[in-house]
C-alpha cells in the first residue's frame, strides 16, 4: 500500500463529459458583457485531484461570470480514470506528460498518445483564453507555490492574488518541454494574458483541494468574473520568490539523491545534490533550493528543479 494517506479520491466525471464547446469535458459560460476570457484547467496530470475538486465546485455551484467568459476544463481524464489506490502515483500520465507537449513541434508532429490526442483536441480551448489558471499538486508534502514564466503580467497577478505566497519564476521556461501555460501567445513577451500554475499542496490531502477552490475563486475575482464576499478575502502573507535555474532530467536508472529530499531544501555552492550514472549534480550557487524532487527516478523524466532565491 502507498505511504500516503488518501484523503481525497476520484469521483465519477461522466456527468461532466458533455460540455458545450464540442470538446468533451470542456464547459464555457459567457456573460454577454465585455471582459476577459478565463480558463480554469484541471487534471493536467491524472492523479492531481485538487483541480478536479475545484472544477467540480465551479460547475456544481453554477458559478457564472459577471463579465467576460469562463471556461472550465478537465484535461487528462484518461489518466485520471486509470487511478489505482494501491499505486496512487502511477496515474500521473499514460504515455506523455500532458504538461510538456504544448509546442507546435509536438502538436503538429507525427507522434501519437492519449495525451497528444487530448492536447490537440484542447488546443483551440487553450489558445482562446486570455488568462489561464492551471491547477496542480505535488507528490511531496511541501508548501504550495505558483509557477509561471518570468513575464511581469504573471508576477503582478500572482502577487496581487497573494496566495500561495511562494513563487517559482521561470526566466527560460522549464527546459524540459512546453507547459500548457506557455502554449502559443502565452509563451511570448508581448501577450496581454496571464497564465499561472498553482501547486496547491500534496496530491491527496483535503487541504490541497480546499486551497485549490480558494485560489480558483481568488483568480476569478482578480479578473472581475466573480465577487468575493468580505469573509472570503484574505490578507496576503509575505511573498517569497525563487528563480528556476535548471531542470535536471534523469539520464540513468541509478539516479540517486545525496540525501532524502522533499523540496525546499537548500545547498551551498558545489554541494552534491544527486548522482546520475557517472555524472554529479552539484549546486550551482549558494542557497540553491531544490523543488519537486522525484519520488521515483524514471529515465527521461524530471528528477529535480534547481532554483535560487530572488531578492
- Asked, for residue 6, whether it belongs to a domain, the answer is no
Please give the Cα distance from 166 to 244 (Å, whole number): 13
Total domain count, the chain = 2
- Asked, for residue 9, whether it belongs to a domain, the answer is no
Kindly state whether residues 222 and 269 are assigned to the same domain: no
- Examine the pLDDT at 188 and tell me if it is beyond 90: yes
- Asked, for residue 2, whether it belongs to a domain, the answer is no
- Examine the pLDDT at 246 and tell me if it is beyond 50: yes
Kindly state whether residues 267 and 126 are assigned to the same domain: no
Q: What's phi and psi for 72, nearest 5 deg?
A: -125, 125
Q: What is the mean pLDDT of residues 32-52?
A: 98
Confidence of residue 258 (pLDDT cuts 50, 70, 90): very high
Segment 75-122, tens digit of pLDDT: 999 999 999 999 999 999 999 999 999 999 999 999 999 999 999 999
Kindly state whether residues 223 and 263 are assigned to the same domain: no
Domain boundary among the residues 206, 232, 258 is at 232
Kindly state whether residues 225 and 277 are assigned to the same domain: no
pLDDT of residue 3: 74
Domain boundary among the residues 184, 208, 232 is at 232
Kindly state whether residues 187 and 281 are assigned to the same domain: no
- Examine the pLDDT at 201 and tell me if it is beyond 60: yes
- Asked, for residue 61, whether it belongs to a domain, the answer is yes
What percentage of the chain carries pLDDT values higher than 90? Answer: 93
Kindly state whether residues 225 and 78 are assigned to the same domain: yes
Count of helix runs (H) and strand runs (E) in the chain: 6, 14
Domain boundary among the residues 189, 210, 232 is at 232
- Examine the pLDDT at 24 and tell me if it is beyond 50: yes
- Asked, for residue 65, whether it belongs to a domain, the answer is yes
Please give the Cα distance from 136 to 199 (Å, whole number): 5
Kindly state whether residues 138 and 265 are assigned to the same domain: no
- Examine the pLDDT at 35 and tell me if it is beyond 60: yes
- Asked, for residue 237, whether it belongs to a domain, the answer is no
- Asked, for residue 204, whether it belongs to a domain, the answer is yes
Kindly state whether residues 143 and 272 are assigned to the same domain: no
Segment 133-156, tens digit of pLDDT: 999 999 999 999 999 999 999 999
Q: Which residues face 133 on adjacent strands?
A: 40, 196
Q: What's phi and psi for 262, nearest 5 deg?
A: -120, -20
Kindly state whether residues 103 and 163 are assigned to the same domain: yes
- Asked, for residue 87, whether it belongs to a domain, the answer is yes
- Examine the pLDDT at 180 and tell me if it is beyond 60: yes
CATH number at residue 41: 3.40.630.10
Q: What is the mean pLDDT of residues 251-270?
A: 97
Q: Which residues face 195 on adjacent strands?
A: 132
CATH number at residue 304: 2.40.50.630
pLDDT of residue 2: 54
The domain in which residue 303 lies consists of 243-309
Confidence of residue 225 (pLDDT cuts 50, 70, 90): very high
Kindly state whether residues 105 and 188 are assigned to the same domain: yes
Q: What's phi and psi for 209, nearest 5 deg?
A: -65, -40
Kindly state whether residues 130 and 225 are assigned to the same domain: yes
pLDDT of residue 1: 41
Kindly state whether residues 180 and 263 are assigned to the same domain: no
Q: What is the mean pLDDT of the chain?
A: 96
- Examine the pLDDT at 236 and tell me if it is beyond 90: no
pLDDT of residue 311: 73
Q: Are strands 272-276 and 256-257 parallel, antiparallel or unpaired?
A: antiparallel
Amino acid at each position: 500500500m502507498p505511504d500516503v494517506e488518501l484523503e481525497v479520491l476520484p469521483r465519477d466525471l461522466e456527468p461532466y463529459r458533455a460540455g458545450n464547446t464540442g470538446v468533451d469535458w470542456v464547459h464555457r459560460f459567457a456573460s454577454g458583457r465585455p471582459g476577459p476570457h478565463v480558463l480554469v484547467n484541471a487534471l493536467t496530470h491524472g492523479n492531481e485531484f485538487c483541480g478536479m475538486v475545484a472544477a467540480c465546485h465551479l460547475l456544481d455551484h453554477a458559478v457564472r461570470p459577471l463579465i467576460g467568459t469562463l471556461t472550465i476544463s478537465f484535461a487528462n481524464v484518461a489518466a485520471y480514470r486509470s487511478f489505482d489506490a494501491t499505486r496512487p502515483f502511477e496515474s500521473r500520465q499514460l504515455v506523455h506528460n500532458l504538461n510538456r507537449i504544448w509546442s507546435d513541434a509536438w502538436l503538429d508532429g507525427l507522434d501519437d498518445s492519449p495525451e497528444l490526442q487530448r492536447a490537440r483536441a484542447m488546443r483551440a480551448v487553450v489558445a482562446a483564453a486570455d488568462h489561464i489558471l492551471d491547477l496542480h499538486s505535488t507528490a511531496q508534502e511541501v508548501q504550495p507555490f505558483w509557477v509561471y514564466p518570468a513575464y511581469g503580467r504573471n508576477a503582478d497577478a500572482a502577487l496581487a492574488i497573494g496566495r500561495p505566497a511562494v513563487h517559482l519564476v521561470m526566466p527560460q521556461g522549464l527546459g524540459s518541454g512546453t507547459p500548457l501555460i506557455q502554449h502559443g501567445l502565452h509563451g511570448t513577451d508581448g501577450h496581454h494574458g496571464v497564465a499561472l500554475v498553482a501547486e496547491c499542496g500534496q496530491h491527496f490531502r483535503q487541504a490541497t483541494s480546499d486551497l485549490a477552490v480558494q485560489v480558483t475563486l481568488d483568480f476569478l475575482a482578480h479578473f472581475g468574473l466573480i465577487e468575493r464576499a468580505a469573509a472570503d478575502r484574505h490578507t496576503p502573507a509575505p511573498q517569497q520568490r525563487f528563480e528556476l535555474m535548471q531542470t535536471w532530467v534523469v539520464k540513468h536508472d541509478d539516479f540517486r539523491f545525496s540525501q532524502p529530499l522533499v523540496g525546499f531544501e537548500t545547498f551551498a555552492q558545489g554541494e552534491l545534490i544527486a548522482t546520475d550514472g557517472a555524472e554529479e549534480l552539484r549546486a550551482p550557487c549558494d542557497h540553491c533550493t531544490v523543488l519537486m524532487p522525484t519520488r521515483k527516478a524514471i529515465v527521461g523524466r524530471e528528477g529535480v528543479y534547481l532554483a535560487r532565491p530572488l531578492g
